[in-house]
Each structure stands twice: as structure tokens, then as C-alpha cells.
């Protein structure tokens, strides 16, 4: 029997119309290279989105075209998100920190037609434009007064481009499965791989990720997305804030600047923010050194990498800010799990409570999850069994753009590359990534647990643990640590720190103090490079 319900497509266009009508007065504040204090309303934003849609049409862009952005988090980038997707084109957000070869690869692989870029990225593209023959031209995200001298071909100034365009636009009726955006994973192995989102997946992800069990967003939230809009749609916040009418505060190029973040939080009464752990370290350091407070800030979402205990503790104890962990990936739009404490956890002793906070959270409805052993057998959710995490659901990718390999298996499960265990009530703890797992004497050792332990040492700024080849044990954990400025400790002190904190046979067999660790374009430690660098490591016990 069929239902009597309407078959209304779930589109970003309908989200835009709704936000303008119902939350039109909500504010968007941005820092940009040309204006440290830009502010307007959702109503203003969507009027400019229509001007931009007219400008895209005037440039000759057509439905299905990939339009690339190389930009920080600000209002112009938000306008691009909506104008491109709602025109039936694909907003291809590019990470400007990618290495030039990767940038060239993905622009050509995605077949980008136009590139909209911040002034700061003009020199990078000037050097590469000949390598991107199919790109028709470039639009610089600034006004005439701040246009740089540039050798980019067919170049336009954003503000001039939209200035004379009408603020009315006849939006196309889109099927909800129309591609809306795409993002390439940074590719720790091989070339980057493209994930293509559609209107339906985006809207469903926004509904689920805004729930109180996840980001917990409402019109009373003032949200500052620090997670870049070039990385997995800024974790969807650029869609979810307009859905609920939350005020948006966008730090532009200043997302790593503790002082500016603190000022933005205080000036705009930011209550929630989201980003990778390193950003929060920068803010904590600034707060410590300046003695500033952030009284409006209620919670921070941390994802992209495991959150060190120190960040959770310091924010809670010194600033009364709750740090909540989330887990996901480019292929998952990105949200898979979120760690909101349950009522029964609030009475737990402090150390038990903290143990739970260090986990990655519970799946949100819509994300079906299982863990498997090496033979593909499903493992129980018993808080002990650890295995490869597989997921499926309406905002998880089935395949990669233009590739026959990778993506979901024949049963529709997508292998995340993470290794985790689950408690009986669905609390997930990532113990490793499949390719980073250390196998010593046939047993798995969690590099993440060891790294967490190492960075909790007061002298350690950053740490990585890799499995390096060992004649007796196949692999043993090797610790690479960067010390904080002015700190010095011995190898014995460092390795002794693990005593009693992890199983004896997990303790790194050796430790090297290094000046810095290699990072990928998304700011994660590149274990691939470290494994290569230390493949011939001479163990002191051999």
C-alpha cells in the first residue's frame, strides 16, 4: 500500500528558502582578509546568493559543472556553497594546504570549470594554471580595492562580478539525488579520492547531526566553525546553522590564532565551536598566557583525530567548557558518532567519566555500524573485542568519483580503515587505523593509546607511535616525540612514563626526540612518512 504523504525532494534549495524566511534576521559574522569584522544577516546572505547564481550563469557555468573553491571560512564561501549547489552545480571545496601535485591532480580529475579563490592563494594558482587547461577562469574572493596584481588568465573580482546582477533568481527544481558538493580525501596512500555528496545526503546529515545527541544546535546557539569549509563541508555546520537559525561566527584565515579566536568568542558570545585538537591547544595556550576568560563558551566539538585528555581536562577545570568528541570521515559527510554524556554517566567517579569522554561516541541514527575480525566475522559489542569498523547509511559514500575500486563491499558496507571496540550500549572507542596498527609478536598494539599517553606527559608537545620492523617481534612500537620549548627529558624518563599506564608489552621499545613530525594536508601526523623514515631503525635492545 502506498502512503498519502507528499514526495517532497530533500534539497539544499529548500533549506535555503526556509532559513531566509524563518531565520532571516540571524547573523553571520566573518573575518576576511579584506575586512576583520564583516557582519550581515541570513537574509542579506541569500540575496547575494541569488546575485551570485546569476553571475555563475553569466559566466556560462551549467548544471553538473564542478565549480571549485579554495577559501577559508567566511561569508563569501558560504554564498558559494549555496549558489553553486542550488544552481544544480557541484561545489568542489579544495584544501589549499594540499601539495601542488595533489592540487593539480584533483582539479583535473574533478574537471573543475571555474576556481573561486581567496587572495592568499593567488600565487599558488598562478604557478599552476597552465597545468589546469580545462579551467575556464578564476574569481578572486575580494572587492576591487583589494584585487591583487595577477597573471591568472580570465580573472574576475568577486564583488564586481556580482555587483550588477539582479537579486532574483529562478532556481531549478532539482532531484534530491543531484550531486551538490565534492571533497577529496587527502590520501595518505596513493592519489586523493573524490567523494560526491548530494542534496538528499546533505539534508539527512544535517537533520541527524544537529540533534541534541550530536551537535545540539538551536537558534540560541552561537556557533563558530573552526573546522575548515574546505574539509567535508565544515562538518555540515554551514547547513545546520541556517536550518536552526544559529548565529554563525566565521574566523576566516585566523582559525589557528588563539588570540583572535578568544576575541571572537567574547565579542559575539560564541557558545559552541568545532575543530581538530590542534586548534584547541592554540586557544588553551593563549588563554593560559593572557589570563583571558571565555565565559560564553559552553562546549567544543573535537574530531578528525583523537582528543588528548589534557584538552578535555583543562577546558573543564579552568574554563568550565565541555569538550565533546566526535568521529567521522570525508566519506561519511562526515559525522558517524558523537559523544554526548548520558545521564547515568554523570554519577560515575571522575576517572571512569574521563575514560568515557576519551571515546569517540555513539553512532547517530542513520549510521549503521559493525566491527569485524580479520576474517570478516562480526564481533560483539562487549567493550573488549576490537576490529575493523564498517558503516553504511544514506550519507555514506558508496564509491569514489571516477574510480572502480574502493567504496562499499557487495553487502553495502564501507570499510572505514579504523579499528575500534564498542560497548554494549554503542559507545565506540577507536583503537587504531587499520594501516597504522602495530602488530608485535602476533598481538595488536594500539598506537592511539600510546600517543595519548605520551602527550599527557607535561614536557611533550606532540607524539607519534609507529610499528617499526623488529627482528624478534616482527614489529615493535617506536615513539617519536616533540618536546615543548625549553623542556628536556631523557629517553628513560619518557619511556618510564608509560609504566603502569599501559600493558607492559605495549610500552614503546625505544624513543626518538625529534624537532617536528611530518603532517598531511589536513594537519594529521603522516604515519606513512614516518614508517618510511624509520624502516631501518636500529633498536637499542638488538
Q: Which residues in this chain contact ligand ADP in the complex, by CB under 6 A?
A: 185-186, 303-306, 325-327, 329-330, 360, 416-418, 430, 433, 522, 524
| Cβ atoms within 10 Å of 260's Cβ, excluding its own | 18
Annotated catalytic residue 439 = yes
- Structural contact between residues 193 and 316, judged by C-beta atoms closer than 8 angstroms: no
CA angle 304, 309, 310 (to 5 degrees): 110
Smaller CB separation from ligand ADP, 252 or 523? 523
Q: How far is the CB of 350 from ligand ADP (least distance, A)?
A: 21
Smaller CB separation from ligand ADP, 43 or 531? 531
- Structural contact between residues 83 and 77, judged by C-beta atoms closer than 8 angstroms: no
| CA-based end-to-end distance of the chain | 72
Q: Residues 384, 439, 472, 484: which is the catalytic one?
A: 439
Taken in order 430, 436, 440, 443, the sign of the CA dihedral is positive
Smaller CB separation from ligand ADP, 135 or 332? 332
Backbone angles phi, psi at 86, to 5 degrees: -75, -15
Q: At what angle are helices 75-86 and 237-244 packed, to 10 degrees?
A: 90
- Non-local (6+) Cβ contacts of 193 within 8 A are 184, 185, 187, 400, 401, 403, 406
Collapsing DSSP to helix, strand or coil, 533 comes out as: helix
- Structural contact between residues 494 and 524, judged by C-beta atoms closer than 8 angstroms: no
Annotated catalytic residue 32 = no
Q: Residues 20, 79, 159, 331: which is the catalytic one?
A: 331
Q: How far is the CB of 505 from ligand ADP (least distance, A)?
A: 23
Smaller CB separation from ligand ADP, 209 or 325? 325
Q: How far is CA 533 from the centre of its chain?
A: 27
Annotated catalytic residue 493 = no
Smaller CB separation from ligand ADP, 202 or 325? 325
Q: Report the candidate in 8, 383, 49, 27 with the shortest Cα–Cα distance to residue 199.
A: 8
Annotated catalytic residue 538 = no
Smaller CB separation from ligand ADP, 13 or 93? 93
Calpha distance 346→357 (Å, rounded): 11
Q: How far is the CB of 184 from ligand ADP (least distance, A)?
A: 9
Q: How far is the CB of 140 from ligand ADP (least distance, A)?
A: 27
Q: How far is the CB of 265 from ligand ADP (least distance, A)?
A: 22
Q: How far is the CB of 482 from ligand ADP (least distance, A)?
A: 19
Smaller CB separation from ligand ADP, 122 or 367? 367
Backbone angles phi, psi at 380, to 5 degrees: -70, 155
Q: How far is the CB of 82 from ligand ADP (least distance, A)?
A: 23
Q: Residues 171, 372, 434, 444: which is the catalytic one?
A: 444
Calpha distance 468→287 (Å, rounded): 38
Q: How far is the CB of 383 from ligand ADP (least distance, A)?
A: 17
- Structural contact between residues 194 and 400, judged by C-beta atoms closer than 8 angstroms: yes
Taken in order 13, 18, 20, 25, the sign of the CA dihedral is negative
CA angle 516, 519, 520 (to 5 degrees): 170
Smaller CB separation from ligand ADP, 147 or 438? 438
- Non-local (6+) Cβ contacts of 344 within 8 A are none
Q: Residues 185, 221, 301, 337: which is the catalytic one?
A: 185
- Non-local (6+) Cβ contacts of 533 within 8 A are none
Known catalytic residues are 185, 331, 439, 444
Amino acid at each position: 500500500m502506498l502512503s498519502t504523504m507528499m514526495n517532497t525532494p530533500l534539497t539544499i534549495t529548500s533549506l535555503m528558502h526556509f532559513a531566509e524566511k524563518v531565520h532571516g534576521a540571524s547573523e553571520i559574522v566573518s573575518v576576511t582578509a579584506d575586512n576583520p569584522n564583516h557582519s550581515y544577516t541570513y537574509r542579506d546572505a541569500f540575496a547575494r546568493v541569488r546575485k551570485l547564481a546569476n553571475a555563475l550563469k553569466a559566466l556560462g557555468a551549467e548544471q553538473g559543472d564542478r565549480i571549485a573553491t579554495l577559501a577559508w571560512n567566511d561569508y563569501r564561501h558560504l554564498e558559494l556553497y549555496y549558489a553553486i549547489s542550488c544552481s544544480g552545480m557541484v561545489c568542489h571545496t579544495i584544501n589549499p594546504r594540499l601539495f601542488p601535485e595533489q592540487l593539480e591532480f584533483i582539479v583535473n580529475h574533478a574537471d573543475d570549470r571555474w576556481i573561486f579563490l581567496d587572495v592568499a592563494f593567488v600565487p599558488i594558482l598562478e604557478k599552476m594554471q597552465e597545468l589546469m587547461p580545462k579551467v575556464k577562469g578564476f574569481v578572486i574572493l575580494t572587492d576591487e580595492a583589494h584585487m591583487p596584481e595577477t597573471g591568472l588568465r580570465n580573472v574576475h573580482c568577486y564583488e564586481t562580478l556580482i555587483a550588477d546582477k539582479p537579486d532574483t533568481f529562478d532556481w531549478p527544481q532539482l532531484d534530491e539525488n543531484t550531486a551538490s558538493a565534492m571533497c577529496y580525501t587527502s590520501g595518505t596512500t596513493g592519489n586523493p579520492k573524490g567523494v560526491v555528496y548530494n542534496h538528499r545526503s546533505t539534508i539527512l546529515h544535517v537533520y541527524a547531526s544537529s540533534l541534541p545527541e550530536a551537535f545540539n544546535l538551536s537558534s540560541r546557539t552561537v556557533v563558530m566553525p573552526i573546522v575548515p569549509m574546505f574539509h567535508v563541508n565544515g562538518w555540515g555546520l554551514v547547513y545546520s546553522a541556517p536550518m536552526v537559525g544559529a548565529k554563525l561566527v566565521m574566523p576566516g584565515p585566523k582559525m589557528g590564532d588563539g588570540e583572535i579566536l578568544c576575541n571572537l568568542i567574547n565579542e559575539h558570545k560564541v557558545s559552541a565551536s568545532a575543530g581538530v585538537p590542534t586548534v584547541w591547544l592554540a586557544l588553551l595556550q593563549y588563554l593560559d598566557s593572557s589570563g583571558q576568560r571565555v565565559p560564553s563558551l559552553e562546549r567544543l566539538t573535537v574530531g578528525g583525530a583523537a582528543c588528548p585528555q589534557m584538552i578535555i581536562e583543562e577546558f573543564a577545570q579552568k574554563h568550565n567548557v565541555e569538550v565533546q568528541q566526535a568521529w567521522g570521515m570525508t566519506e561519511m559527510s562526515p559525522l558517524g558518532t558523537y559523544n554526548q554524556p548520558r545521564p547515568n554517566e554523570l554519577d560515575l567517579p571522575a576517572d571512569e567519566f574521563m575514560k568515557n569522554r576519551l571515546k569517540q561516541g555513539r553512532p547517530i541514527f542513520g549510521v549503521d555500524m559493525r566491527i569485524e575480525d580479520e576474517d570478516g566475522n562480526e564481533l560483539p559489542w562487549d567493550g573488549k573485542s576490537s576490529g575493523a569498523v564498517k558503516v553504511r547509511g544514506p550519507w555514506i559514500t558508496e564509491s569514489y568519483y571516477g574510480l572502480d575500486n574502493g567504496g562499499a563491499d557487495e553487502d553495502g558496507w564501507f570499510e572505514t580503515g579504523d579499528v575500534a571496540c564498542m560497548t554494549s550500549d554503542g559507545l565506540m572507542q577507536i583503537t587504531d587505523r587499520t594501516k597504522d596498527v602495530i602488530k608485535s609478536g602476533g598481538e595488536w598494539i594500539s598506537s592511539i593509546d600510546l600517543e595519548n599517553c605520551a602527550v599527557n606527559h607535561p614536557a611533550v608537545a606532540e607524539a607519534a607511535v609507529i610499528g617499526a620492523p623488529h627482528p624478534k617481534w616482527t614489529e615493535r612500537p617506536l615513539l617519536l616525540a616533540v618536546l615543548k620549548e625549553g623542556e628536556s627529558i631523557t629517553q628513560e624518563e619518557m619511556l618510564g612514563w608509560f609504566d603502569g599506564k599501559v600493558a607492559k608489552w605495549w610500552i614503546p621499545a625505544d624513543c626518538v626526540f625529534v624537532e617536528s613530525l611530518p603532517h598531511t594536508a589536513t594537519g594529521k601526523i603522516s604515519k606513512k612518512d614516518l614508517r618510511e623514515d624509520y624502516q631501518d631503525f636500529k633498536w637499542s635492545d638488538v
